[in-house]
Amino acid sequence: MALKLLSDAEKMFILHGVKDDFRCDGRTRREYRPIEVETEIVSNASGSARVRLANTDVLVGVKTEIDIPNPDRPTEGKLEFFVDCSANATPAFEGRGGEELAYEISSSLSKAYGNQSAFDLRPLCILPGQQCWKLYVDILILECGGNLFDGVSLAVKAALFNTKVPRISSATVDGGVVDLQLSDDPYDYQSVNVSSAPLLVTLTKIGEHCVVDPSAEEEACSLVSAVVAVTEKGKYVTSFVRGEGSLHPDTLIDMLKVGQSLGVDMNKELNNALKMELSQGENRERCGFLK
């Protein structure tokens, strides 16, 4: 994605603010911007969520489908991510401008969720080696205001939490042909366990310091970022470095430690918010799409 154009004076102002631990919007180096999470907002999806992280706006929908398990993982279901960078989000996404970023985001999510200890796909298996549930996770970037990786991971976890997988009432095999019967009760479903699902935490190096949840303007002042996937229990799932710059090994280790601490806090806060929203049931106010 093309960097937001800033003058040298603007970049110097941001750099000095980060150095003094007082960013342009009043945050410290380790503070996130306000986060809004809303689930069950797309009526024709099995699960959905929308996350607003200041000016970053992400919509996620999950679709369930019956498929055949991978031969090397016969007792597991499947999970597939697709990212669409809307041309309305930023002029940089016009044409094929967002394809590289979309691939990078979907690949990072696949690696993070591909770890069995972080996200267990076995409950999605119907008949080992023959039938399983496949979850298609469609991600739409509506607006870019910086820190897309964190915003997307929050929306994905919230949408999976909201996903309702139909209950299989009976499953038989006759002459190699599988016959599945789905429950007729729309309220008879199984939920997806996301208690240990990871969140991505981005740490961006500006000058001699790193900041979390960088704005678009702050990203324009940086050449390198580290992204780490962390579970609620503080386990590292995957990590990678983005950008044209480089990081000293000691700096990278310090950034990963900060990411681990923040990842634990973010996971706990999101899990608590989702459970609270679930407890409100049909009484909560909805203001989503396609209602």
Structure tokens at 268: 């706990």
| pLDDT value of position 263 | 96
Mean pLDDT of 125-153: 94
Residue 213 backbone zone (phi > 0: left; psi -120 to 50: alpha; other: beta): left
Rounded Cα distance between 13 and 98, Å, is 29
pLDDT tens-digit map of 101-126: 999 999 999 999 998 888 999 999 99
Q: Which domains does the chain have, with CATH numbers?
A: 8-282 (3.30.230.70)
Q: DSSP string of 199-236?
A: EEEEEEEETTEEEES--HHHHTT-SEEEEEEE-TT--E
Distance CA 111, CA 273 (A): 25
Q: What is the mean pLDDT of residues 239-262?
A: 93
Please tell me the distance from the alpha carbon of residue 111 to that of residue 114, in angstroms, as a whole number.
5
pLDDT reported for residue 70: 93
Residue 91 CB partners (closer than 8 Å, separation 6+): 2
Q: In which band, very low, low, confident or very high, does the pLDDT at 286 lie, cut at 50, 70 and 90? A: low
Unique residue bearing structure tokens 């780490």: 228
Question: For 144-201, what is each residue's pLDDT tens digit?
Answer: 999 999 999 999 999 999 999 998 877 777 777 777 888 777 788 999 999 889 999 9
Cβ(145)–Cβ(153) under 8 Å?
Answer: no
Which pair of tokens denotes residue 157?
Answer: 């976890």
Question: Greatest CA span in the chain, whole angstroms?
Answer: 74
In this predicted structure, what is the pLDDT of residue 26? 92
Taking residues 23-42, what's their average pLDDT? Answer: 93
| pTM of structure | 0.91
